[in-house]
Structures are given as C-alpha cells and as structure tokens.
Amino acid sequence: MHGLLAAVITAAIFGATGAGCVAVPSTNCYVFDNTSHIYDFSSLVGQLFEYDDEKDPDLVVRFCKDIETRAQTGYVDYGRYNSLNYFIASAGTGNFLQEYFNGDIRNCETTYDKLGRTAQVNIICGSCPNGQCVGGLGCICSVTYESTCRVLIDLALPCVKPGLRVFEGFTVGFHPRSWEVVYNGMTQVGYEKSYDEFSFSTEQRDVTLYLTAVASLSSLVQKPTIKVSPKEGLAVKLSGSGANGSPPTTLSPTMIAVDWRCEKARDKPYEVNITIPVLNYAPVQFTFAKLCEHSQDERGESLRGWGIFGIISCILIVGLTLSCVGGFIYKMRVQNLRGLDAVPGMAILSACLETASGGSGGPRYTRPNEANDHFVNQATWEEQTASTRRTTATSEKTYGSI
Ligand SMILES: *[C@@H]1O[C@H](CO)[C@@H](O)[C@H](O)[C@H]1NC(C)=O
Ligand SMILES: *[C@@H]1O[C@H](CO)[C@@H](O)[C@H](O)[C@H]1NC(C)=O
C-alpha cells in the first residue's frame, strides 16, 4: 500500500515537473553518491563551520570554498586553497569526501605529490560518531593534523535530500567531441529551459547532435522523443542513428539530425523539448528555442526545383559541347588544314592568342622602370594607344561574329 502511494506521488511529481531532467547545479558544490544520485549542496556554499582547538589554532571550514586556521583574534593564518578539487562519494569514513589542494602555506610545496598544503573533509550525513551535532546546521567532529601540510576533518551536517539518478558520463553536443548541451548526464545552462534571447534563427533548417555514453551503460539509452510548444506551427523531425535509439559510446557517438520547418510565423520562438529516456536513470532532457519569422516550404519542393534546373543545365551543356565539336570537325574537314593548324584545338588557341595580344605586331609590355629613355617611353605609349584601338576593333569583330 505504501509502495503504491509512493509510486502515485512520484508519478504526480514527475508529471508536474515534466519528465524531471537533471540540470547542472548552479555551483560546483555537488556530488554523486555510489548509486549516481545527485546531492546539490549549492545552498550551503560558504557556510562557516568553526572548531575551537585548545592546543592548535582554531580551524574554520568555509563549505566548498576553503579551509582556514585562525589565530585567537580571528586573524586568518592560512587557508586560500585553489578551490574545491574533489567531491566524491566516500568509501571510508562518512558519506562524502572533499579534497582541497594547493593551500598557501610555505614549505609544503614538495609534499604529497607536490600538491602543497592539502585538506580532506569527510562529510557525515547526520551526527558525529560520538553523538555530537544532533540537529542544527552541523559541526566539525574532529580535526587531525597528519603533518604540518595535511589536515583531516570530520564534518557532520544534515545532508540535503538526494536528487534524481544521473546518467553519468553521458554527453550531447553540436560536434562529435563537444558537450555544450549535456555534460556528464546533466543539462547545461542555456538548454535546461527555453530562452527567448538565445534561439535558432529562422534560416537554420537543421541542427545535428552527437551523443556519447560510457560504453558499458550505452545500451540503456532509448529512442528520443520531442515535444513542441505550441503544438502547431513548427514541424520537427528527428533522424539518424541516435533517433533510432542506437547505443552511443565515447568512441563512436551516435547522431540525431533535428530537422525543423516553420509552418506558421510567430513573434516568440517555439519551444522544442527533446527527451532521451535512459533505463533506470532520470531521462536526459534539453530545450531549444526556434524562431519562425516566416513560414517555409518543405525542403523536398525546393530540392525538386533545383533538380529540374540541374537537368536543363545538363542538357544545355551537352548540346553546346556537341555543336562545338561538330563545328570543329566540320571546319577541319572543309578547310583541310595541314601541319600544326590541324592539331585539334590549335585554331581556337591561335584565335584566342590573337585576340588577347591585340592582333599581330602588338606592343611589347614595358615596365616603367625599364624604360629610362623618354622617347622610347613615348613611342611605347603611342604604340599602345594605337594597339588599344586595334584591340577594340578586333573585339568588336569577334563579338559580331558570335
Ligand atoms: C553505498 O553507500 C552506502 C553508504 O553510504 C552503503 O550503505 C551502500 O552499501 C553502498 N552501495 C553500494 C552499491 O556500494
Ligand atoms: C519543456 O521543458 C521545460 C523545462 O523542463 C518545461 O518547463 C516545459 O513545460 C516543457 N514543455 C513541454 C511542451 O513539454
């Protein structure tokens, strides 16, 4: 009975949130447990957890940001790690494990694989092993200095509720080796919902998506589905290997070709939701905005037009070639040319050369710096003027004869 009720509630929630996809959290303060459920700690980023120490300086954890030690006056002795480097499910103490590298203390540069000062935080969901920290925001259970360069901290806090089960390793991108749309199973910012200001233009008739998944889990990927809002006015078709639900791997991505055609113009973009179901995991869903400033023909029609144009062009080219060859053979036979002129193409070539050089006895090309003598220069100029006239005459004749 309880199971049934849970199922009904789950269905209701999923129905309300629309398939329930996993958008990437707003900060890097999130973690997956050993069953790939996501825990988003973004609301706790920067939260202070202080630990008063009798013999050592006080220690402060700024959650997901830094580990600091402070002198009694509150002065920060050291801290300032690069950032949070690791946040993973724990195999040992606690539920999760955080690692901070490259702290700013000196003389630790060569320790621990040259990572400088390091800190490890074991996060325990609930209370400390000794029963401390029941309720409230949580607290530090213990601080252990492994060396002057490494500190271990046990931190208990009421963990956030687990999120959906993320299909880790799955990517969707616009190129075979990119993941702008979905990375590590999470829909990236910009594609988790429709943004009016970022949309595909009217002219863009298609977009190709490339899917990759961890090879051992790739068979869980199912056939994608689409939902367009509003329902009428934009025709969307999916094709390609990914559209049939073929298993993608990292080495051989599958492809989804999204083909869209505006049937009705609209001042706001259409919203296109593409959902890729994954067995036993939350589905992967992303949203595109598609602008339709005017309606468009089916692509087949315009292709047919081009096809007819192509056939006509082809007939024209073949006809022209045939008549040219015919004319040439006729000329060769009738005029019965001998010697070099009888070589096919020679007559045309010589005619071309004649036209280009402006007839026989044309001027020699003279570079200005070559002609030092003024009179030679002038002679060349006069000759050129004369030849220009001649060339014009020749061209006129040529145009007339065609
Ligand atoms: C996952 O971790 C929990 C403790 O955090 C443990 O009880 C459980 O057995 C683990 N499951 C697997 C499949 O490793
Ligand atoms: C598309 O997805 C968004 C975000 O998940 C959701 O708000 C919207 O209702 C969905 N639209 C349709 C038509 O399913």
Whole-angstrom Cα distance, residue 77 to residue 116? 16
The residue ranking higher by pLDDT, 379 or 331, is: 331
Atom of ligand 2 nearest to the CA of 229: 13
Residue that wins the pLDDT comparison between 106 and 287: 287
Question: Which is nearest to 380 in space by CA: 361, 363, 358?
Answer: 363
Position 271 scores a pLDDT of 95
| Ligand 1 near 93 CB (within 6 A) | no
Q: What is the mean pLDDT of the chain?
A: 77
CATH topology of domain 2-157: Cation-dependent Mannose-6-phosphate Receptor; Chain A (2.70.130)
Separation between Cα atoms, residue 234 and residue 260, nearest integer Å: 7
Give the residue, by CA position, lying nearest to ligand 1 atom 6. Answer: 34
Output the pTM of the full model: 0.68
- Phi, psi at residue 202, to the nearest 5°? -60, -40
Other beta carbons within 10 Å of 152: 15
Longest dimension (CA), the chain: 118
Q: Give yes or no on whether 2-157 and 171-296 have one common fold.
A: no
Strand (E) or helix (H) holding 96: strand 96-103
**Ligand minimally distant from the alpha carbon of residue 89:** 1
For the chain, what are the domain ranges? 2-157, 171-296, 308-368
Q: Which atom of ligand 2 has the smallest separation from the CA of 285? A: 5
Q: Which among 34, 39, 95, 159 is the best mutation to test ligand 1's pocket, defined by most ligand atoms within 8 Å of the CB?
A: 34
Per-residue pLDDT band at 360 (split at 50, 70, 90): very low
Looking at the predicted structure, is the pLDDT value of residue 346 above 70? no
- Whole-number Å distance, alpha carbon 389 to ligand 1 midpoint, is 96
Q: Whose CA is nearest to atom 9 of ligand 1?
A: 34
Do 233 and 268 meet the contact criterion of CB atoms below 8 Å apart? no
DSSP letter, residue 180: S
User: 274 CA distance to ligand 2 centroid (A)?
Assistant: 9
Band of residue 335 on the pLDDT scale cut at 50, 70, 90: low
Report, in angstroms and rounded to the nearest whole number, the Rg of the chain calculated over CA atoms. Answer: 38
| Mean pLDDT calculated for residue range 164-191 | 95
Q: Which of 145-149, 332-336, 380-384 has the lowest mean pLDDT?
A: 380-384
**Taking Cα atoms as reference points, which of 105, 96, 99 lies closest to residue 57?**
105
For the segment(s) 171-296, the CATH number from 2.60.40.10, 1.10.132.20, 2.40.160.40, 2.40.128.120 is: 2.60.40.10
Neighbours of 114 (CB within 10 A): 10
Mutate to test the pocket of ligand 2, among 273, 284, 285, 288 (most ligand atoms within 8 A of CB): 273
Residue 95 Cβ inside 6 Å of ligand 1? The answer reads: yes
Query: Is the model's pLDDT at 16 over the cut of 60?
Result: no
Q: What pLDDT score does 385 carry?
A: 42
| Tens digit of each residue's pLDDT (9 = 90 or more) over 227-276 | 999 999 999 999 999 999 899 998 899 999 999 999 999 999 999 999 99
Atom of ligand 2 nearest to the CA of 273: 1
| DSSP code, position 58 | E
Q: What is the Å distance from ligand 2's center to 72 Cα?
A: 53
Q: Report the separation in Å between the CA atom of 229 and the middle of ligand 2, taken as the mean of its atom positions.
A: 8
Per-residue pLDDT band at 14 (split at 50, 70, 90): very low
**Residue 202: per-residue pLDDT:** 92
Ligand 2 centroid vs 18 CA: distance in angstroms? Answer: 6
Q: How confident is the model at residue 368 (pLDDT cuts 50, 70, 90)?
A: very low
